[in-house]
Structure 1
Amino acid sequence: MTTTVSARPLARCVMVLGTTSGAGKSWLTTALCRYYSNLGLKVAPFKAQNMSNNARVVEGIDGAWGEIGSAQYFQALAANARPEVRMNPLLLKPEADTHSQVVLMGQVSAELTAMPWRGRSEKVWPQIAAALDALRADNDVVVIEGAGSPAEINLHASDIVNMRVARHAQARCLLVTDIDRGGAFAHLYGTWALLPEDERALIHGFVLNKFRGDAALLAPAPQMLQQLTGVPTVATIPMQWQHGLPEEDGVFDDRSVAAGVVTKTIAVIAYPRISNLDEFQPLKNMQGVRLQWVRSPADVALLQLRDWIVVPGSKATAADLAWLRAQGLDSAIAAHAGRGGAVLGVCGGLQMLGEALIDPEGIDGNGPGLGLLPLVTVFEPAKTVRHTEARFGQLADGPWAALSGVPVAGYEIHHGQTAQHTAMAAKGDVARAAIPGLAWQNRAGNVLGLYLHGLFEDSAALQALFATSGNAPVRTLDAVFDGLADALQAHFAPGVLQSLIHS
């Protein structure tokens, strides 16, 4: 991939702003990407700065792999575009409440990570603007997602993700609010009122999201709001509990099951710095599968032998492992494994399942592991970021045996390097290499750890693990995207979506 600009006319930009975080910006941006792509247009998503520990490995600069936020990855798929780093030039990955790792154009930047928040914006803005300009040169439409609220007046002077982007692209903006929270009209009016006059002019429509009830009862509020602001309310979108798209921060709810009777519960350990949880969304779309957060031993005690425990990725493995122990979840996981129950560790979760974490460079932290796999992880400054294709070898009998011989594709994002514990090997306790250097299994066969993210997004792996149990995906990802686009067409005022991309 290069950033060379072409001679085609610059793309029209449609931007989705929100009155708050969680208002529905990512959902609406994804839906717009598919809607405009379905019109036969060449479409790309863009978010100048994302803060998330849910990241994907995509095409980077000069052939290198890079990281972007998962939301932009899925938006690119919805747009029928190849995901690449220009779509999310700046990614902040929280490592603590007051500290984030900074990823610029797909690569970790130690310099930017060490800089103060406000000092960083002017340093990165030229690259953000260049990435957006390059996308505009290569596409017909660029759908831009904002972050948080554009009316955070304490951050307005150093803004690089909301109205500065909108002004640079002269984007036609939609302002979306979560009406289910209450106070939606005050949120819309207050956001609009706090913007400078030239930025207000870029707001072309208000969107009420997550509405439950009779839309006729909203009157006369939308008309009154338009009289105050000059901005029409262009859509009222109903609450959609199971739209099928991963949530912005990978968070799922377990109020319902995709379809049918529950045949398996998959319990995901929900420690504070969980990462890449969006990779489990396909399981939420499976018939008869229930995903459940686990935060206490009591949650684990309710699991049946057929159920799985997943120890997911983490942005702070040693700290999350310490939290897990403080809750008593280490003993609960060990008890489930001791009964023969299935345990899966992914990336940081794999590292936790081993005997020890060793951190000579001060990258993450030292600590004893859970001891379910005879492995040792050493943290290194160099970060492994790549797409990976591999094939499982012969696995031991047990819940993971169906993966034997199955080819899989996914991505790796990790600092640690993991290997067999030599002293334990000398005593005969050797981990089975399910995929050399990438996945290991215990001798009993019920504990599996792997570095590969995306196992449940791989159709071959899903088929192997679930076909014989009668579970099947309810919807493909393409069907999910088309459903989002259909919802826009059904609930936006006629002609609005077309008018946003025409002069």
Structure 2
Amino acid sequence: MSDQVERAPAHCVMVLGTTSGAGKSWVATALCRWYARQGLKVAPFKAQNMSNNARVVAGGEIGSAQYFQALAARTRPDVRMNPLLLKPERDTHSQVVLLGQVNAELTALPWRGRSERVWPQIAQALDALRAENDVVVIEGAGSPAEINLMASDIVNLRVARHAQARCLLVTDIDRGGAFAHLYGTWALMPEPDRALLAGFVLNRFRGDASLLAPAPEQLQALTGVPTVATLPMWWQHGLPEEDGVFDDRSTASGDVNRTIAVIAYPRISNLDEFQPLKNVPGVRLRWARSPADVDGADWIILPGSKHTSGDLAWLRAQGLDRAVAAHAARGGAVLGICGGLQMLGEALIDPHGIDGNAPGLGLLPLVTVFAPDKTVRDRTATFGAVDGAWAPLAGLQVGGYEIHHGQTAAHAAMAAAGDVARPVMPEGLAWQNGQGNVLGLYLHGLFEDPAVLQALFGAAAPTLDAVFDGLADFIDRHFLPGTLHALTH
């Protein structure tokens, strides 16, 4: 008899939050590693994720948070771990990815009409993971108490009921009003669902935890739910933020010898790939939303974008196009990744209505044409000869991933006139300008390669495995003894 047949359905531990940004993702990641270190077979799950940070896995793409949670669980990332991914392209429109693949039919549907269509696939994915594992760590989305969304909920309480999950409710006490958030969420949950709440978690607490008394005891008297952890504020845990904005408090401390400005346009994607730079000694990473934010920067990075033409228009409206051009004209280093590479070219051409037409920044003599089919794949490639700030990359084999609709090539007329972007990777993966200070590449994940960090900075960032162990140690210290074991028994 197979292991799958003999295995009892996995215990499910679910992390809910009183708000978005309460800390669900990192707590779920910590739980994945903690349970894996107990010798259990663990998988993460989030029914629906809205994020432009995605990773390539077997079968397509999933949200970055579930990708990292799978690594923390010491298992292979799988499209079933995030069956529905919504990638916002505009304020009122998202691309829908179902089980790893773009689904045009679901993308065209009003969002309220999707839930019943996709619930069978979500339930099937969760059931399959439960059949193959000892523990499934489930992450909710937003808050489970959004009463305007409960009728079409497919990510919070419906999942909790289906899995009969033991739920933790996390709140960000640094925002203020934490006990009201916890009580209000509990009060708005349907009474049968309250029975699934196993504990409250106070996250990002500063100061002496004894000063919280008697509030946790009073809250338990009102709700019957104990406060099982008070997690201190911890800025430098090293886990990539799913969608959050970093600041100096989350960047490695010490003397700064290089400042890197990352343009933070509205539809920025895959920002998590810059986490290793935050951990490199001597590097200061700065979000840039105005020309003043790039003043004094050694490097400017144009990251990925889920709506390249729209973000390019925003960049121009802020005057950042002129700031980037001036930086490049002075010989400053400019790096464009994926959508950023497309922006550095001469033009965006969109014959199929994928993204939009637009003139580029003109820093590389390239043209991008958007294709209906999406390129989603892992890649390994070797840099050829590279000049300027990027010269240490010459000859390095690096690994990463591609997620893009655009196909980029040399501008034919400019090439005929002798203005040619020099390919520095095979198969159209990367180009450099003649001066050597502007580099564009399609490969995401460059700074996650230890050889790249060593070549460019002479330093190493903590490994992801060390980060995951640090998260597990942290919750082991701050949860009440026995709590984490009890959630799976």
Which residue of structure 1 lines up, in the alignment, with residue 408 of structure 2? 418
- The CA distance in 2 between the partners of 1:409 and 1:92, in whole Å, is 26
Which residue of structure 1 lines up, in the alignment, with residue 350 of structure 2? 359
* 2:336 maps to 1:345: yes
Cα deviations by residue, 1:148-190 (Å, 9 ceiling, x for unpaired): 0001111111110001000000000000000011111111011
Cα deviations by residue, 1:469-501 (Å, 9 ceiling, x for unpaired): xx332x221111111111111110010000000
How far residue 308 of structure 1 moved from its aligned partner, in angstroms, is 0.6
Q: What's the secondary structure of 1:77's corresponding residue?
A: helix
- Residues 245 and 281 in structure 1, CA contact (< 8 A), matched pair in contact too: yes
Which residue of structure 1 lines up, in the alignment, with residue 433 of structure 2? 442
Cα deviations by residue, 1:127-164 (Å, 9 ceiling, x for unpaired): 00000011111111000000000011111111100010
Which residue of structure 1 lines up, in the alignment, with residue 215 of structure 2? 221
Cα deviations by residue, 1:80-113 (Å, 9 ceiling, x for unpaired): 1111101000000001111111000000000001
Query: Unpaired segments of 5 or more residues in structure 2?
Result: none
Please tell me the residue identity of whatever aligns with 1:221: A
User: Which stretches of structure 1, 4 residues or more, deviate above 6 A after TM superposition?
Assistant: none
- The CA distance in 2 between the partners of 1:50 and 1:216, in whole Å, is 36
How far residue 250 of structure 1 moved from its aligned partner, in angstroms, is 4.7
Please tell me the residue identity of whatever aligns with 1:301: D
Which residue of structure 2 lines up, in the alignment, with residue 403 of structure 1? 393
Please tell me the residue identity of whatever aligns with 1:199: D
How far residue 5 of structure 1 moved from its aligned partner, in angstroms, is 5.6
RMSD: 1.1
Task: Tell me the TM-score normalized by structure 2.
Answer: 0.98
Cα deviations by residue, 1:377-432 (Å, 9 ceiling, x for unpaired): 00011100011111111113x10111111001111000000000011111111111
How far residue 458 of structure 1 moved from its aligned partner, in angstroms, is 1.1
Please tell me the residue identity of whatever aligns with 1:298: A
Please tell me the residue identity of whatever aligns with 1:105: L
For the structure 1 residues 37 and 302, does the alpha-carbon distance in structure 2 shift closer, same or farther, using more than 3 Å as the test?
same
How far residue 256 of structure 1 moved from its aligned partner, in angstroms, is 6.0
How far residue 302 of structure 1 moved from its aligned partner, in angstroms, is 2.7
Which residue of structure 1 lines up, in the alignment, with residue 65 of structure 2? 71
How far residue 229 of structure 1 moved from its aligned partner, in angstroms, is 0.6
Which residue of structure 1 lines up, in the alignment, with residue 301 of structure 2? 310
Please tell me the residue identity of whatever aligns with 2:401: Y
Which residue of structure 1 lines up, in the alignment, with residue 102 of structure 2? 108
Query: Unpaired segments of 5 or more residues in structure 1?
Result: 61-65
For the structure 1 residues 250 and 450, does the alpha-carbon distance in structure 2 shift closer, same or farther, using more than 3 Å as the test?
farther
- The CA distance in 1 between the partners of 2:77 and 2:403, in whole Å, is 16
Cα deviations by residue, 1:339-396 (Å, 9 ceiling, x for unpaired): 1111000000000000000011111011110011010000011100011111111113
User: 1:468-487 alignment to 2 at 5 Å?
Assistant: 471-473=459-461, 475-487=462-474
Cα deviations by residue, 1:4-31 (Å, 9 ceiling, x for unpaired): 9644111100000000000010010000
- Residues 257 and 288 in structure 1, CA contact (< 8 A), matched pair in contact too: no
- The CA distance in 2 between the partners of 1:195 and 1:297, in whole Å, is 46
Q: Give the % identical residues.
A: 80
Q: What's the secondary structure of 1:176's corresponding residue?
A: strand
- The CA distance in 2 between the partners of 1:6 and 1:88, in whole Å, is 24
How far residue 75 of structure 1 moved from its aligned partner, in angstroms, is 0.5
- The CA distance in 1 between the partners of 2:168 and 2:331, in whole Å, is 52
Q: What's the secondary structure of 2:389's corresponding residue?
A: coil
Q: What's the secondary structure of 1:20's corresponding residue?
A: coil
Corresponding pairs, count = 486
2:150 to 156, 163, 166: 156
Q: What's the secondary structure of 2:155's corresponding residue?
A: coil
- The CA distance in 1 between the partners of 2:154 and 2:68, in whole Å, is 22
How far residue 317 of structure 1 moved from its aligned partner, in angstroms, is 0.2
* 2:228 maps to 1:234: yes
User: 1:45-84 alignment to 2 at 5 Å?
Assistant: 45-60=44-59, 66-84=60-78
Please tell me the residue identity of whatever aligns with 2:308: T
User: 1:155-304 alignment to 2 at 5 Å?
Assistant: 155-255=149-249, 257-303=251-297
Q: What's the secondary structure of 2:377's corresponding residue?
A: strand
Please tell me the residue identity of whatever aligns with 2:337: V
- The CA distance in 1 between the partners of 2:237 and 2:422, in whole Å, is 39
- The CA distance in 1 between the partners of 2:212 and 2:58, in whole Å, is 45
Deviates more, 1:310-319 or 1:251-260: 251-260
- Residues 7 and 137 in structure 1, CA contact (< 8 A), matched pair in contact too: no
- Residues 251 and 278 in structure 1, CA contact (< 8 A), matched pair in contact too: no
Task: Tell me the TM-score normalized by structure 1.
Answer: 0.95
Which residue of structure 1 lines up, in the alignment, with residue 421 of structure 2? 431
Please tell me the residue identity of whatever aligns with 1:324: L
- The CA distance in 2 between the partners of 1:241 and 1:270, in whole Å, is 20
